[in-house]
Structure 1
């Protein structure tokens, strides 16, 4: 007996290409979102964000951080001040807030479907960037229904 997955056919080429294009764009924006989210967290919890802190926490070299910060500056998300570290522009703060909210939603959803908190945090790091707005809205509806049922 054939499974449903075996019965699927390929989508039209333009639709298929659009799916891959969306994932490539998500990959490109994931780095920026991760950096601005971490900068916001460091500023909030430690009072400063330095390149050395980003490199250590992200597990990358300072050269990688420097190059990425340069791109984020060109994109208008981050400012640097001599001897004072990294700061987010208004656009960077907005991106960080959206990324954090999306991350927290994905974590809550994964915990609600049975993952432990540590695995949910780890898996959310990738899922948060690749879930569509429709999927995120469905996660939120699912959580709201659970809260309604529990309340």
Structure 2
């Protein structure tokens, strides 16, 4: 892909670069929790229940992976399980799901506004939504407000 810059950018100071990588590792860890709670909220809204088998099918993972992840989400206070009733979000889980959905929708709208087709925007938003900083998200929102305003 062509770039406007003809000379490579110098490396940032080591401490600053390490902090950037640490932020990305934290975003990776948080991404799984956000994806799960967002999907559980969607299933509860659309189907009235969120079962582990449905989460596994939609995430493209095994039920064993869902069981392990849900166990972690329970320990983190985001998800509750009830025997023979499936998965439910705690208030904290619902708050996370709502925020994740809003970020996802914002990123999709931004990507479409800059020229991507809707399908690609949806696919790309799955990764970008977890890694964009609050500053970047605010810039996306300002761009959209100016464009739509």
Q: What is the TM-score with the length of structure 2 in the denominator?
A: 0.96
Match of 1:97 in 2: 98
Q: Which runs of 4+ in 1 moved over 2 A?
A: 3-7
Match of 1:80 in 2: 81
Match of 2:111 in 1: 110
Q: Alpha-carbon deviations, 1:44-88, whole Å to 9, x = none?
A: 000000000000000000000000000000000000000000000
Match of 1:12 in 2: 13
Q: How does 1:1-150 map to 2 (within 5 A)?
A: 4=5, 6-148=7-149
Q: Alpha-carbon deviations, 1:96-137, whole Å to 9, x = none?
A: 000000000000000000111111001000000000000000
Cα distance 1:145–1:77, how it changes in 2: closer, same or farther (>3 A)? same
Cα distance 1:13–1:40, how it changes in 2: closer, same or farther (>3 A)? same
CA distance in 1, matches of 2:6, 2:127: 24
Q: CA deviation at 1:11?
A: 0.6
Alpha-carbon RMSD: 0.9
How many residue pairs get aligned? The number is 146
